[in-house]
Amino acid sequence: MLRLSNLSSLDHNSKISCTAENIVGGKESSLLLDILFPPKITKLSEAIPDHHWCIPFSVSGNPEPELQWFLDDEVVTEGLYIMTMIHDITEREYHGCLQLDSPTHFNNGRYRLVAKNEFGMDQREVEAHFMHKPIEGLCLHFVIVQVYVVVGIAAVAFTGFLLMLIILKFGGNSKFGIKGPSSVISNDDDSASPLHHVSNGSNTPSSSEMGPDAVIIGMTKIPVIENPQYFRSTNSLLKTDTFVQHIKRHNIVLKRELGEGAFGKVFLAECYNLSPDQEKILVAVKTLKEASENARKDFHREAELLTNLQHEHIVTFYGVCVESDPLIMVFEYMKHGDLNKFLRAHGPDAVLMAEGQTTRPVELTQSQMLHIAQQIASGMVYLASQHFVHRDLATRNCLVGENLLVKIGDFGMSRDVYSTDYYRVGGHTMLPIRWMPPESIMYRKFTTESDVWSLGVVLWEIFTYGKQPWYQLSNNEVIECITQGRVLQRPRTCPKEVYDLMLGCWQREPHMRLNIKEIHGLLLNLAKASPVYLDILG
């Protein structure tokens, strides 16, 4: 037996040979030393930008060490956008990268690599900085605003106090006995304190005091912009010569309430003399409850826009009725209502209570789901051809008619009934963050490509029978998740081809996403491959 001692990892893989010789001849045999030793991180360097970002490292150890990354002491969950890659192995030394795909400021921080095997562990840290926060020094900005507000209040209070003193002194001595201002004071005891007067509003800085155009999510300042669809003068859909059809009030007979929209109730109605071949047809009328000057302007703009949007998978807009309040928009009636409710009603959890008995409605089949998806994609191809960016594509904004006919039916933002689908920012702006890609969340960039992302989420909604995307997460967690590059998981009933399509919609880089026409083509082919049996919905 050859006994070896004081060996180190450096001796790993060394060749030990044994030769035996006598007068007749010789024989040699050899082996490589397999030395077990604890991990050692021999290199951990600063991040380098390449095709992807890379934090390079080298680790030795035998057996192969397990690697775990921490960012500011929190475990880094590896996935599509962050992963450990080993490029080279030499003598039990592993050389690789922590590879980051398009990291943002969320990825900045102190990266700690921990390498472990059964003989021990080693760890090392490195700082990495990929991107500045969209607005640095926001905290400072916030504090300054607070200081301004407090100083402002104090200044106004002081001026008010001085003014009152002057009024008391001179007003009270008026030879005509003018009661004016002094009576204001005596009539309202509460207002005796000038501070009360000026603080009559809000003395805490609201988001509007920070500028109406910004909102803070975590430490990120996100600009809030009005829906440019309405304000872009170059928008081909807002032509100056658009003829919006006006319908007489006496031609509309309300039948029952269908739902509550963001701006007022929606009713089922009969509309007379709308088409030459039918005396009356069923329509859905949307009412505008509060018609301020601005709301009226938006109403007319939306009516023009809707008049110019005409496609078999966009809900038909018949016209307006503005003879008196409330203002009314008239649409074609879609019998099965909004797609989200429809999906839930035809999913595994749906239970219909009919005449005291619990009966299960028919569940949607995969081919019906594909048929639904294909129609929405078709509507989106049309919108993209009109350079119209929807910004709020979701199943709640699609409508279902007879024979599983699906149309995109809502172009406004925000809905009360689905308020948890939106993230309220800057007072009244609501954002459908669960349907938004990273660039829309971080930079408020809305494009046809961001609509494609939302279409991917719509596919996910369809194949989960109307589940809320990231239902298990809070809004802040969703923002964190999406900006970190996580994507929704494959729904249980979703074929691989369809999930691949979703992944194609959720490429982080907008230009890498599938084109809307491609998506429509793929869905059409998949839908054709499995024909739909429409009658099962009854």
Report DSSP letters for 159-182, one per residue: HHHHHHHHIIIIITT-TT---HHH
- Least Cβ distance, residue 326 to ligand ADP (angstroms): 12
What are residue 267's DSSP bridge partners?
Answer: 257, 285
Q: Is 88 a catalytic residue?
A: no
| CB 39 within 8 Å of CB 60 | yes
* The token pair that represents 245 in the structure block: 């059809």
261 is in an annotated binding site: yes
Rounded Cα distance, 347 and 439, in Å: 32
Closest CA to 447 of 488, 387, 398, 503: 387
264 in a known ligand binding site? yes
| Minimum gap (Å) between residue 258 Cβ and ligand ADP | 4
Catalytic residue among 122, 392, 421, 451: 392
Shortest Cβ distance from residue 340 to ligand ADP (Å)?
8
Eight-state DSSP code of residue 412: S
332 is in an annotated binding site: yes
Q: Which residues bind ligand ADP (CB under 6 A)?
A: 258-259, 261-263, 266, 284, 286, 315, 331-334, 337-338, 399, 409-410, 412, 415
Flag whether 257 is marked binding. Answer: no
Q: Could you tell me which of 132, 146, 147, 262 has the C-alpha nearest to residue 207?
A: 146
Sequence letter at residue 32 = L
Is 262 marked as a binding-site residue? yes
Cα distance from N-terminal residue to C-terminal residue, the chain: 85
Q: What are the phi and psi torsion angles at 417 (to 5°)?
A: -65, -30
Can you read off the two tokens belonging to residue 375?
A: 């129609």
Structure tokens at 64: 């192969």
User: In whole angstroms, what is the distance from residue 478 CA to residue 460 CA?
Assistant: 16
Beta carbon nearer to ligand ADP, 115 or 315:
315
Residue 501: which H helix or E strand, with range? helix 496-505
Dihedral sign from CA coordinates of 247, 252, 258, 264? positive
Copy the structure tokens of residue 184.
Answer: 């204001």
> Rounded to an integer, what distance in angstroms lies between the CA atom of residue 445 and that of residue 134?
13
- CB closer to ligand ADP out of 141 and 280: 280
> Does 401 carry a binding-site annotation?
no
Nearer to ligand ADP, 266 or 370 (CB): 266
Is 286 known to sit in a ligand binding site? Answer: yes
Query: What is the spatial distance between Cα 250 and Cα 404, in angstroms, rounded to a whole number?
Result: 32
Nearer to ligand ADP, 96 or 261 (CB): 261
Smallest distance from ligand ADP to CB 409, Å: 6
Complex with ligand ADP: residue 415 or 520, whichever CB lies closer: 415
CB of 405 to ligand ADP, least distance (A): 12
Q: Which residue is nearest to ligand ADP (CB)?
A: 261
Distance of closest approach, residue 266 Cβ to ligand ADP, in angstroms = 4
Query: What is the nearest approach in angstroms of ligand ADP to the Cβ of residue 329?
Result: 9
**What residues form DSSP beta bridges with 32?**
15
* 161 annotated as ligand-binding: no
Q: What is the CA radius of gyration of the chain?
A: 33
Classify residue 360 as exposed, middle or buried by CB count within 10 Å of its CB (0-12, 13-18, 19+).
Answer: exposed
Closer of 266 and 487 to ligand ADP (Cβ): 266
- Rounded CA-CA distance 133/130 in Å is 10
The answer to whether 379 is a known ligand-binding residue is no
**Closest CB to ligand ADP among residues 337, 469:** 337
Residues with catalytic roles: 392
Query: Which residues contribute to the annotated binding site for Mg(2+)?
Result: 397, 410
Which parts are annotated binding residues?
A: 258-266, 286, 332-338, 396-397, 410
Q: Which residues are annotated as a binding site for ATP?
A: 258-266, 286, 332-338, 396
